[in-house]
Chains A and B, each alone.
Chain A
């Protein structure tokens, strides 16, 4: 067995040193009837070559996005990630280390986290950011619970533009925690509806911009309304790249900004692992969840970094902790910060602009097809279209032509009708040929 260094001779010697006759002597506390006598009924070990063959066979039963003309967004985005990112995160010292509990031999991870926190805060224009959450959706339920702690209120209102998976994740975790979760009906351009649903017990309103239909919203009036009612304003997002081009939530006064960072540095990976970005105002820091890296000095006065404010966390506070969370999304965080460092402000703006231009070109090309209507009034790189037929039927027909054309809204939320709505996305990876092929195919299908 290539991963197990002990030989049978080693094992015999070690048992002798221990003073045990057999390995079963070491399992002496296990109830005898529960101690398995033989391996369970699964295949035996295989060579590296055989395993690789099997896994490649499984992989070959999928059609990777890059093999098609691909237009899916709705929470996960296909962007070009420079080769150096994946090379660097596979360095042993990053890949195979643990949470930086011994900071004197973990400055690499800690400084990278400190830089990550700074980059996230700058991108979102917020005062502070943490060292990441599992993903955007779980970050959002943590934000809702945090708002409840800050305001000592127990009701949270979500707009109908919040990604339905996020809304369901928030409802699942927060209702068990005793919060009342109000999710408004799906709406393409009505984030401010949350203000009409507020009451005196509302801890937070949650909006998403760009929302699941791609719509960008001016958050300032919503912030003002939420604050007037004593609630926090939480702004969610699923496409971090957008803030290279659109006004960031922090600049419009949001109290907590939380969302998905996958689109920077991280592959699609069929939904995970991803990296949740979480930022807030300094005054709320002690109620915030998740790990934080902070600056300090060593015994010689040299600058260094440690994990800090851990008195909020479960390993110290146990049932009184701000969250049960025990990890961040370490390696995905590293990929994010490396990609962002390679981009810089200039590169980020350029990639974001290319995304937007491709999406505009796509909207122009699809919008002129008779019977097809672009529903999203203002967008970054994704938008909703209304089709003259059921979206899932059109999607299947597009697949026949090698085009993965979007996400039917009903796949995310079957409760609202909207069977004719398709969510479409273009990124810098789409070519003009992709866009033309999509328009031509769609025209054929709907006419």
Chain B
């Protein structure tokens, strides 16, 4: 890029760290002056003021707006991160979550003052249970992985109740699983045993049968799976696991492909988390907050963690203590009642779409992915054949590698074209994976533009590998050095650096 005097590039403004420009005596907040009354801190007042810099409001607004302009976002363009589901976030959801009647509620207010919030939670639960065909739901998990933990703790509690808590310790996890699955199983004290995938991207049932035994606690299976395929033998898998005395945890990360069209309860699932930020469009916010309500089968419902919503005559109430609750709750996932702000957004989305619209959401997400597969299959290698796929489409790096281009290089070249890349190097069962999830909120015209760009890039790979190796050229930054960041971790600004710089 052309060098400039200011370091800015047109609309891209250079923006230093807060700590380099702000001052510890400046503030953007007006508050009345304290009275100066005697304190009751018992001599434990702060001895040294923290070196926290402050900015006036105009300076702060400019700092963060400038930072924002260095980000890609779904509002800017197609964001095809497979398995992450970057769909449009309706702004009505945001407006509703900010109503005082939801946002300005303390979690421990007397329950008679929060009947609307409890009705909201009950209504969200009703939608989730009707859509999934399950028996109970724990709303409180804070994110998808936290929902996995909830489901696996319910399985653990059920095994303990059966007297098999010490004997059933092995959890089967397909090798295509999200990393959270084995990590969750291990966090609950289970031993992880991998099941192989077949050549066409499904669970290898023969391998599954071989790994069964009286020590098996259950299986953690993503469906639709991380290769973007529906596990066609899913009912048989459920029967096999149940027959062996285990439970079926379904990772619901890809539920958006089947919402309104398939009920996991009809497939033999015992527990499944639902990422409200995926299927039900709560914003991803640069990495959270998520929300992972977990639906449970009749076998696991008695172990659902507190709090529960219960009916007391006309009113709703919160059952917040395990010992007073019906059933045998395994405990508590977090303080208070979970991500209520996300419940508001998700229910707003559900009411907007309705049962007909949610079904259309699933169908259009699958249609869009299959359309991209049809447009791209002659230019990239689809390792599991010509489809159909579900809501995401998977390619490997074989058409790139022959020309010396790696998946990461291809991804970085997409940045120059103004696109966020697809998910790369996941799932692990495919070499140099490129996993594309367009979602239902892209138009056909947008998909065509995207496909045209990918096809043109695939052509360029054949003649100009160097272009990919050195990409990106036009993004706000050139390629960043991950290795250096990890070898010499520098995780915060330190005051002495400023002094050092000043002295130089």
Contact = CB atoms under 8 A, between A and B. Distances in A.
B44 interface: yes
A29 B236 CA distance: 13
Interface string A73-110: 01110100010101111111111111111111111110
Contact of B477 (A129, A138, A298): A298
Contacts of A295: 485, 490-491
A46 B367 contact: no
A3 B352 contact: yes
Given A48-B352, A166-B335, A428-B31, A29 B229 contact: yes
Contact of A169 (B38, B110, B334): B334
A43 B13 CA distance: 48
A428 B285 CA distance: 29
Contact of A96 (B19, B184, B284, B361): B284
Nearest to B56: A342
Most chain A CB within 10 A, of B104, B131, B358, is at B104
B204 to A, nearest CB: 16
Most chain A CB within 10 A, of B74, B289, B472, is at B289
A4 interface: yes
Nearest to A26: B388
Given A75-B107, A119-B52, A357-B35, 17 more contacts: A20-B370, A35-B261, A66-B100, A75-B108, A98-B287, A118-B19, A267-B341, A271-B335, A272-B337, A308-B486, A338-B64, A342-B28, A351-B31, A354-B32, A357-B34, A360-B39, A404-B106
Given A40-B355, A323-B187, A343 B232 contact: no
Interface in B290-317: 290-291, 305
Interface string A388-421: 0000000110010000100100011011000000
Contacts of A40: 130-131, 260, 263, 355, 359
A86 to B, nearest CB: 7
A273 B335 contact: no
A426 to B, nearest CB: 12
Contacts of B285: 89, 94-95, 97, 330-332, 334
A112 B366 contact: no
Interface stretch (B115-123, B205-213, B242-250, B453-461): B115-123
A319 B183 CA distance: 4
Interface stretch (A171-179, A196-204, A224-232): A171-179
B332 interface: yes
A43 B350 CA distance: 9
Contact of A64 (B29, B101, B374, B411): B101
Interface size classification for chain A: 35 or more
A134 interface: yes
A84 B440 CA distance: 33
B388 A331 contact: no
Interface in A106-157: 106-109, 111-112, 114-115, 117-119, 121-123, 125, 128-129, 131-132, 134-138, 145
B22 A341 contact: yes
Contacts of A176: 153, 156, 187-189
Given A62-B105, A165-B335, A331 B356 contact: no
Contact of A92 (B75, B131, B351, B480): B75
A48 B333 CA distance: 34
B52 A64 contact: no
B240 interface: no
A70 B106 contact: yes
A444 interface: no
Nearest to A376: B40
Interface in A357-407: 357, 359-361, 363, 377-380, 395-396, 399, 404, 407
B149 interface: yes
A26 B366 contact: yes
A268 interface: yes
Contacts of B92: 48, 51-52
Given A93-B71, A296-B481, A332-B288, A59 B116 contact: yes
Contact of A356 (B29, B41, B89, B361): B41
Contacts of B79: 97-98
A342 B310 CA distance: 42
A344 interface: yes
Contact of B492 (A43, A117, A380): A117
B117 A270 contact: yes
A39 B356 contact: yes
B490 A344 contact: no
Contacts of A247: 44-47
A446 interface: no
Interface string A306-318: 1011110111111
Contacts of B198: none
A330 B284 contact: yes
B432 interface: no
B45 A245 contact: yes
A326 interface: yes
Interface residues of B, number: 209
Contact of A273 (B27, B28, B86, B339): B339
A115 B367 contact: no
B340 A92 contact: no
B121 to A, nearest CB: 9
Nearest to B375: A17
Given A98-B81, A173-B149, A42 B130 contact: yes
A318 B351 contact: no
Given A18-B370, A98-B286, A62 B115 contact: yes
Contact of B288 (A51, A328, A345, A396): A328
Contacts of A314: 145, 178-180, 182-183
Contact of A99 (B145, B260, B284, B357): B284
B363 A55 contact: no
Interface string B90-134: 101011111111111111111011111101100100010011000
Contacts of A305: 480
The 4 A-B pairs with the shortest beta carbon distances in the complex, nearest first, are: A344-B54, A59-B101, A172-B331, A271-B336
Interface in B23-76: 23-29, 31-35, 37-42, 44-55, 57, 60-61, 63-65, 67-76
A205 B479 CA distance: 44
Contacts of A311: 486
A380 B90 CA distance: 40
B484 A296 contact: yes
Given A104-B478, A134-B142, A270 B102 contact: yes
Interface in A1-19: 1-6, 10-11, 13-15, 17-19
Contacts of B8: none
21 contacts: A23-B363, A26-B390, A29-B388, A51-B351, A58-B101, A61-B116, A63-B114, A72-B106, A96-B74, A105-B475, A128-B491, A268-B107, A271-B335, A291-B287, A296-B485, A300-B478, A341-B55, A345-B49, A354-B31, A379-B40, A404-B106
B234 A31 contact: yes
Interface in B134-158: 142-146, 148-149, 153, 156
A305 B5 CA distance: 23
Given A329-B289, A330-B289, A58 B67 contact: no
B370 A26 contact: yes
Contacts of A44: 354-357
A177 B63 CA distance: 43
A324 interface: yes
B139 to A, nearest CB: 10
Contact of A342 (B27, B65, B344): B27
A246 interface: yes
B188 A177 contact: yes
A172 B324 CA distance: 17
B54 A343 contact: yes
Nearest to B318: A411
B187 A109 contact: no
Contacts of B267: 31, 34
A350 B19 contact: no
B367 A344 contact: no
B465 interface: no
